[in-house]
Amino acid sequence: MNLFPFKLARKYVFSGKNAIEVNVISWIAFLALGFVTACLFIIMSVFTGLESVNLQFYSNINPEIAISPAKGKTIQSSAAFEEKLNEILAFDEVETLSKVIEERAFIRYNNKNHIVTLKGIDENFNQIFRLDTMVRIGDPLGREYLDEIVIGTEVSSRLSLFTDPDLPVQLYVPKPGKGLISNEEDAVNKVMAFSSGIFFINDKFANYVFSNLELAQALLNYNEGQFSGIEIKANTGDLDKLKRRIQNIIGDDYQVKTRQEIDAAFLKMMNTENLIIYLICFLILIIASFNLAGSIAILILDKAPESRTLHSMGFNNTSLRKTYFYTGMLITLYALIFGLLVGSFFAWMQHEFSLVMVSFNVPFPVKFTVQNYLITIISVMGIGLLVSWFVSRNAKIKEQAH
């Protein structure tokens, strides 16, 4: 293998014998690529950190396994169904399960109205998700009074409702069925409830109202064994395997989903955001690579006399093109190393010292991953390779060599 073109390229990079204009343009190309590399790595590390935090946050909210009816909106319990649930509870991988009801409802308080998502929960729900620890004002939902509710911050704001043991709120849902409505009472089911507390989880749950399962059943006119789903807390990392075992027991009349399947829409949104951010950074990288193209083109012009000398000594056009190709690749490589070092340093500073904050007390999270390093390396070196190949391949070396 002829290494002379590579050795010559290494000599050309930032050489003191180059014209000052050539070195200035080479340094501009180096710094531009290095800066964009650092920005690309930092932004990807921040978004990976945000994704990790969001996934962890949603993981604390959503159950590991959820069971829902394959058809219709409700599950009707029976002795045979309860036996299946007891069999599932006997799994070593299952800690507990909770029966829940989730439905849109209309809430009214003191002549103010709002549409909310009502979630009725049984006594086991707090073992799956510690709702009691999320109550910021008032008291958590108890089992002593079944007509109590806890409301999200958005509901509290819309209704100007905090905790009121005297004036009840009214919850409404439409009655199922068809036909003409003669009066309001025939159109809706209604229950009275008292707000015992206000909780905050995140914006997704700001419009939720939690109640005991019995209150939700009464509002929806469900019987004691009727509910809309089952949430399961598991202690295994292999949720897909557990899902298959549960599905075999519960039968095809029910859907069994893992947390990842429940979060599918959220994960798709996060992946789309990451892709858009990467494409924007990649576009900036392409623009920065124009400096590299200019640097190689100017170097070719500057080294025209030397190229003629090399050509007379038997150095053909292919070898000359390789020389300028290697020069571009070396500038790209040095810029990549510089950019990764700078990007890693600032990302580490953010991770350790929280230099930039999302809000008053929440810093932008940063997460280092091998994937981010690989994506940055492949992107920068890929652009550098294409630009170096294109410029050196289309250079008019033959005219310069004669």
The backbone torsions φ and ψ at residue 144, rounded to the nearest 5 degrees and listed phi first, read: -70, -45
The backbone torsions φ and ψ at residue 246, rounded to the nearest 5 degrees and listed phi first, read: -65, -40
The backbone torsions φ and ψ at residue 14, rounded to the nearest 5 degrees and listed phi first, read: 55, 35
Asked if 87 contacts 249 with a C-beta cutoff of 8 angstroms, the reply is yes
Q: How many whole angstroms separate alpha carbon 139 and alpha carbon 106? A: 23
Residue whose structure tokens are 């070092």:
341
Averages of pLDDT over runs of 10 residues in the chain (402 residues) are 80 73 88 97 94 77 92 94 96 96 96 96 93 91 90 95 90 81 77 95 90 97 96 93 96 94 86 92 95 92 84 83 94 97 97 90 92 97 96 69 48
Encoded tokens for 103: 């439905």
Closest CA to 37 of 339, 345, 286, 375: 339
Asked if 18 contacts 291 with a C-beta cutoff of 8 angstroms, the reply is no
Please count the other Cβ atoms lying within 10 Å of the Cβ belonging to residue 28: 15
Asked if 32 contacts 244 with a C-beta cutoff of 8 angstroms, the reply is no
Segments in 204-258 forming alpha helices (H): 213-220, 239-250
Distances (CA, A) of 4 to 15, 108, 330: 17, 83, 15
Q: What pTM did the predictor assign?
A: 0.77
| Dihedral sign of CA atoms 18, 19, 22, 28 in order | positive
Segments in 4-19 forming alpha helices (H): 4-12
Closest CA to 41 of 346, 329, 268: 346
Specify the pairing of strand 188-199 against strand 148-152: parallel
Specify the pairing of strand 148-152 against strand 75-76: unpaired
72: helix, strand or coil: coil
Q: How many whole angstroms separate alpha carbon 44 and alpha carbon 53? A: 14
Closest CA to 193 of 221, 163, 223: 163
Asked if 67 contacts 84 with a C-beta cutoff of 8 angstroms, the reply is no
Residue 67's H or E segment, with its range, is: strand 65-69
- Per-residue b or e along 217-248, where b marks 16 or more CB atoms closer than 10 Å to that residue's CB: bbbbebeeebbbbbbbbbeeeebeebbeebee
